[in-house]
């Protein structure tokens, strides 16, 4: 296959040889090293053969020795095509521009596909990559992916994996990271247990530390429930600081109020649809319509981008943007208060459940109409563990000096 392409690039001719001395003609070609291909003898004094342009020129010098005549019946290859196209300057210019366009397309990045883990800030990662030269239109030869990866690891401490995969003129970015662990209190630190919310104490189980409340006590948010400062347990003993631990259950009350308008509006589509088109060349946009958009009316706007692709890995920097406007009218709807009960109860319970970590003992709700809106007021009584650890800044109090027993 390659040899055939090479022969076409050099040029070939198909010749008709006539004369009474065909054997002498063939012997002369063999003696001079001329290669004849696809030889076909059609009569005792006629034959056809194929040879290169250079060999044909050499053959013409020996024709007088053989008494044969040679006629060209077919010309093939680039030299003959170039001769035919020489007067057509526009065509040659188009070929040059096409070659230049192919070089620009193959040498630059025109499509970027991004897959970034939610643990990382996608906007920040893309901005940093842009500062390192990763953007639409970047020269592929200038993208040192290894250097970019190491630079990104330095700028993103939480990034654990980064892949820059170039296929054709398309770039796929994959990045994964880890969420920073929550700061935990040192197990050897001086810690107290405080109330996370207000309530009435039900029970206190102090595993370590000094209980500061008992069943029936009312506490506010932030009150100390179990102290890390432990008083002396025997006469003559001293105070000590420890890491308080324990569980404190309390009766708590959660209240939530939700409101929803009784009169709402729904969309009723009219069937009217309009489309606008825009052409995007690289980073430049050309609107194929007059004005900045649809004026008047209420509509949904749907944007579709169609990118010109040769394959999945070869993308042209040309896109057609189709903006579709679907028009609708607003139709008022009025709902009864009781029709909204289930929906509003569900929303209120979700809000309370997200803020509560115990079991419900009792709940009540009232649904009323106020100023054109349905208002739900819910009260939930629960039993939950309200103790959370916090750093204890207590210090050991100074003890008075012991009395001198030998004093008079």
Q: Do 271 and 210 belong to one domain?
A: no
Range(s) of the domain holding residue 10? 2-82
Residue 401 lies in a domain: no
Q: Do 168 and 208 belong to one domain?
A: no
CATH number at residue 45: 3.30.70.260
Residue 101 lies in a domain: no
- State how many domains the chain has: 5
Residue 324 lies in a domain: yes
Query: Around Cβ 323, how many Cβ atoms within 10 Å?
Result: 17
Give the whole-angstrom CA distance, residue 261 versus residue 175. Answer: 44
CATH number at residue 165: 3.10.20.310
Q: What is the pLDDT along the chain (408 residues), one digit of tens a residue?
A: 677 777 777 888 999 988 888 888 888 888 888 888 889 988 888 999 998 888 888 887 777 777 788 888 988 888 877 777 666 667 667 777 878 877 777 788 888 889 999 889 999 999 999 999 998 888 888 889 899 999 999 999 889 999 999 888 888 999 998 877 665 555 556 788 999 999 999 999 988 888 999 999 999 999 999 988 888 777 666 778 888 889 999 999 988 888 888 888 888 898 899 999 999 887 788 888 887 666 656 888 999 998 887 777 777 788 899 999 999 988 888 888 888 888 888 888 888 888 787 888 888 888 888 888 888 888 989 999 999 888 877 777 766 555 544 444
Residue 108 host element (H or E): none
Give the whole-angstrom CA distance, residue 144 versus residue 147. Answer: 5
pLDDT at 407: 44
Residue 114 lies in a domain: yes
Torsion (CA) 297, 298, 302, 303 in degrees, nearest 10: 50
pLDDT at 86: 67
pLDDT at 151: 92
Q: Do 54 and 7 belong to one domain?
A: yes
- Does this model's pTM top 0.75? no
Q: Do 218 and 272 belong to one domain?
A: no
Residue 305 lies in a domain: yes
Residue 201 lies in a domain: yes
Q: Do 148 and 199 belong to one domain?
A: no
pLDDT at 406: 45
What are the strands, taking DSSP E only, across 243-314? 245-261, 263-281, 284-287, 298-309
Residue 389 lies in a domain: no
Residue 160 lies in a domain: yes
Sequence-separated contacts (24+) of 125-131 with Cβ below 8 Å: 125/152, 125/156, 125/159, 125/175, 128/152, 128/155, 128/156, 129/173
Q: Do 326 and 339 belong to one domain?
A: no
Q: Do 159 and 201 belong to one domain?
A: no
Q: Do 129 and 161 belong to one domain?
A: yes
Q: Do 6 and 77 belong to one domain?
A: yes
pLDDT at 163: 92
């Amino acid at each position: 296959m390659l040899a055939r392409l090479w022969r076409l690039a050099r040029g070939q001719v198909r010749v008709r040889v006539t004369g009474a001395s065909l054997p002498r003609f063939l012997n002369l070609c063999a003696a001079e090293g001329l290669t004849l291909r696809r030889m076909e003898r059609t009569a005792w004094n006629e034959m056809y053969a194929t040879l290169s342009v250079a060999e044909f020129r050499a053959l013409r010098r020996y024709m007088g020795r053989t008494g044969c005549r040679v006629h060209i019946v077919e010309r093939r290859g680039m030299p003959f095509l170039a001769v035919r196209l020489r007067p057509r300057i526009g065509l040659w210019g188009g070929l040059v521009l096409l070659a230049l366009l192919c070089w620009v397309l193959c040498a630059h990045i025109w499509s970027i596909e991004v897959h970034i883990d939610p643990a990382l800030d996608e906007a920040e990662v893309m901005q940093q990559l842009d500062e390192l030269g990763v953007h639409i239109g970047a020269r592929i030869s200038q993208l040192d992916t290894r250097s970019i990866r190491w630079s990104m690891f330095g700028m993103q401490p939480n990034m654990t994996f980064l892949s820059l995969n170039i296929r054709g003129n398309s770039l796929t970015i994959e990045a994964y990271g880890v969420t920073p662990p929550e700061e935990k209190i040192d197990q050897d630190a001086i810690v107290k247990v405080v109330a996370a919310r207000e309530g009435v104490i039900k029970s206190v189980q102090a595993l370590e530390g000094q209980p500061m409340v008992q069943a029936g006590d009312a506490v506010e948010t932030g009150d100390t429930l179990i102290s890390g400062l432990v008083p002396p347990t025997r006469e003559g003993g001293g105070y000590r600081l420890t890491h308080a631990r324990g569980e404190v259950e309390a009766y708590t009350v959660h209240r939530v109020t939700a409101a929803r308008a009784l009169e709402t509006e729904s969309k009723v589509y009219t069937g009217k649809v309009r489309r606008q088109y825009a052409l995007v060349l690289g980073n430049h946009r050309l609107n194929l319509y007059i004005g900045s958009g649809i004026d008047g009316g209420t509509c949904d706007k749907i944007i579709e981008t169609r990118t010109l692709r040769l394959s999945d890995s070869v993308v042209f920097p040309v896109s057609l943007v189709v903006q579709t406007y679907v028009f609708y009218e607003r139709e008022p709807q009025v709902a009864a208060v009781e029709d909204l009960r289930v929906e509003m109860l569900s929303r209120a319970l979700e809000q309370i459940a997200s803020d509560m970590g115990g079991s419900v003992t009792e709940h009540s709700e009232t649904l009323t109409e106020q100023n054109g809106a349905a208002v739900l007021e819910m009260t939930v009584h629960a039993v939950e563990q309200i103790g959370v650890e916090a750093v204890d800044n207590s210090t050991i109090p100074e003890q008075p000096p012991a009395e001198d027993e030998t004093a008079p």
